[in-house]
Amino acid sequence: MKTPRDLWTDLRSTFWFVPAVIVCAAVTLAFVLIETDWRLAQNLRDSWPRLFGAGAAGSRGMLSTIAGSMITVAGVTFVGIAFLIFFIDHIGWSIQASQIIATVATD
């Protein structure tokens, strides 16, 4: 007969245990946060109208600004990495050519 510790070890070693726990925790957290939001929504809007009173248009504008900034950062990073790869490739050939010329000239 297996002990509870052996059963727990067998259960944790299966592939479905950790994802199932994560899904259950996410569902529980979703219910808790929705209930909390429903209870505190009016109080927050009255307390901080500039933060929570923007509505759909304000939220859309904020999200579009954040998305545009992320795309800009990704583009600049991509161009910077492409430039570095090109520069390193070019310098690498120059260094090899100068070493070959120096070797041939000294022989």
Instruction: Kindly list the domain boundaries of the chain, sorted by start residue.
Output: 1-53, 55-107
The confidence score (pLDDT) of residue 81 equals 86
Name the region of 55 (left: φ>0; alpha: ψ -120 to 50; beta: rest): left
Q: Is residue 7 predicted with pLDDT exceeding 80?
A: yes
> Which pLDDT tens digit goes with each residue over 27-72?
999 999 988 888 877 676 677 666 666 777 888 888 899 999 999 9
Please compute the mean of the pLDDT values over residues 4-14 and round it to a whole number. Answer: 85
Q: Is 52 exposed, middle or buried (0-12, 13-18, 19+ CB in 10 A)?
A: middle
Kindly report whether the global pTM for this prediction surpasses the value 0.75. Answer: no
Contact indicator for 53, 45 with CB cutoff of 8 Å: yes
